[in-house]
């Protein structure tokens, strides 16, 4: 990369990422003691795989990537259709399995659908700031967004689908969509949520919500994991019980402890200090992502950064919230901390895109210009 690009990169994002990965490795190592750290070794392997992609997506101009994003969009749709015909794992057809490794297409869909939609939105905005708010244009964006999301819901993977929705809202907001659409959307969501609960959600999804509202409804069934998670986090107190010493973690009361409930492992064995540090690192990362969106040299960079911020925001809030009983359990991993190769690789690529956009914003900063309709209005 050119010297002037590296000079403008938000290196604090990469530092936060490295610290989260290190904390995650310690937690996964402890959580997989009973299986001879099999998942820990795989996580190390995926870190090694992710580093070249981190470099690649940092070096190659994001504008160049966006120009071929339609190819990735089509490939992702094909993968999301193909995965529906695979053998279910834990009740969901979300993975392509190759020997001992699994690939989850919906994780990579987060990246390339964000880039493709940002490319479309930025092209529309070049024709005029109000272009994106025209009903026909907005309908096109909604269709392009809805197709992959519906395929992900079909798997079913409701957590990832909601992550897409949150990212999409961040993107629309920064793109400068008419506020009337936002108001109408809020009203529609308020009306739709109880209807979806009553007539659309399957029974197991309803049960998760019911148990979230009252874990005592099924303390030995659906409410068991939540109860054990809260016990684990509370038992850690300030400094934790120590690695390999957590009762809920080592005695198998937490499940799945290396993915969904990894924050519970951190809370129990590393205590409030490290658990609080994890939250602070995510807040810094998300805040920096939004700052990159504000200072991006163009609308494309601003919208991509906003979408990535939305993904990280939802995953952080949902995963940590569900382990504390503040949100329903959805099986959403904690970025860079939970075990999972596809998740880790896709998150590294999103970090690379943030580094990429921040490094190429020098003209915008020097000239006092900022990308994004929303940011330009709130400057």
Model pLDDT, residue 367 = 39
Q: CA angle 355-301-369, nearest 5°?
A: 105
pTM listed for this prediction: 0.91
The torsion angle over the Cα atoms of residues 1, 349, 296 and 379, rounded to 10 degrees, is: -150
Alpha helices, DSSP H only, in the chain? Answer: 3-8, 11-31, 38-59, 62-67, 69-82, 105-126, 135-154, 158-175, 179-199, 203-213, 224-236, 247-250, 262-295, 299-323, 341-359, 362-367, 373-378
Model pLDDT, residue 55 = 95
Average pLDDT of 12-20? 97
Q: What three-state secondary structure class fits 124?
A: helix
Q: CA angle 348-352-358, nearest 5°?
A: 145
Rounded distance between C-alpha atoms, residue 73 and residue 34, angstroms: 40
- Dmax (CA) for the chain in angstroms is 61
Model pLDDT, residue 376 = 56
Contact 103, 96 (CB under 8 A): yes
Average pLDDT of 235-257? 91
Which of 74-78, 113-117, 129-133, 136-140 comes out lowest in average pLDDT?
Answer: 129-133
What pLDDT, in 10s, does the model give residues 310-332? 999 999 999 999 999 888 888 89
Rounded distance between C-alpha atoms, residue 314 and residue 284, angstroms: 15
Rounded distance between C-alpha atoms, residue 259 and residue 262, angstroms: 5
Contact 197, 209 (CB under 8 A): yes
pLDDT confidence of 355, banded at 50, 70, 90?
Answer: very high
Contact 247, 235 (CB under 8 A): yes
């Amino acid at each position: 990369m050119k010297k002037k690009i590296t000079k403008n990169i938000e290196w604090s994002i990469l530092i936060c990422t490295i610290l989260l990965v290190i904390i995650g490795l310690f937690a996964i190592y402890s959580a997989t003691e009973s299986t001879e750290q099999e998942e820990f070794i795989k996580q190390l392997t995926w870190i090694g795989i992710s580093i070249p992609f981190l470099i690649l997506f940092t070096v190659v101009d994001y504008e160049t990537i966006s120009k071929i994003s339609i190819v990735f969009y089509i490939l992702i749709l094909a993968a999301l259709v193909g995965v529906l015909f695979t053998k279910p794992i834990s009740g969901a057809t979300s993975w392509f399995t190759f020997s001992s490794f699994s690939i989850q297409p919906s994780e990579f869909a987060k990246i390339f659908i964000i880039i493709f939609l940002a490319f479309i939105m930025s092209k529309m905005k070049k024709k005029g700031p109000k272009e994106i708010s025209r009903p026909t244009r907005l309908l096109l964006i909604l269709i392009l967004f809805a197709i992959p999301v519906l395929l992900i819901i079909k798997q079913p993977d409701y957590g990832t689908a909601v992550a897409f929705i949150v990212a999409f809202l961040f993107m629309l907001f920064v793109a400068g969509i008419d506020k009337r659409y936002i108001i109408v959307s809020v009203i529609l969501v308020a009306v739709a949520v109880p209807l979806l609960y009553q007539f659309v959600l399957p029974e197991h999804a309803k049960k998760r919500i019911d148990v979230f509202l009252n874990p005592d409804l099924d303390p030995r069934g659906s409410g068991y994991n939540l109860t054990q998670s809260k016990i684990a986090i509370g038992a850690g107190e300030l400094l934790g019980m120590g690695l390999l010493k957590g009762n809920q973690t080592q005695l198998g009361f937490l499940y799945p402890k290396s993915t969904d409930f990894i924050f519970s492992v951190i809370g129990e064995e590393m205590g409030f200090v490290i658990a609080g540090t994890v939250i602070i690192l995510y807040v810094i990362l998300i805040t920096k992502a939004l700052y990159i969106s504000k200072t991006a040299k163009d609308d494309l960079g601003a919208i991509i950064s906003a979408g990535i911020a939305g993904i990280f925001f939802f995953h952080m809030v949902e995963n940590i919230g569900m382990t504390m009983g503040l949100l329903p359990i959805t099986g959403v991993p904690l970025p860079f901390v939970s075990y999972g190769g596809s998740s880790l690789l896709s998150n590294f690529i999103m970090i690379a895109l943030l580094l990429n956009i921040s490094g190429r914003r020098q003209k915008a900063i020097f000239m006092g210009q900022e990308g994004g309709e929303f940011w330009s209005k709130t400057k």
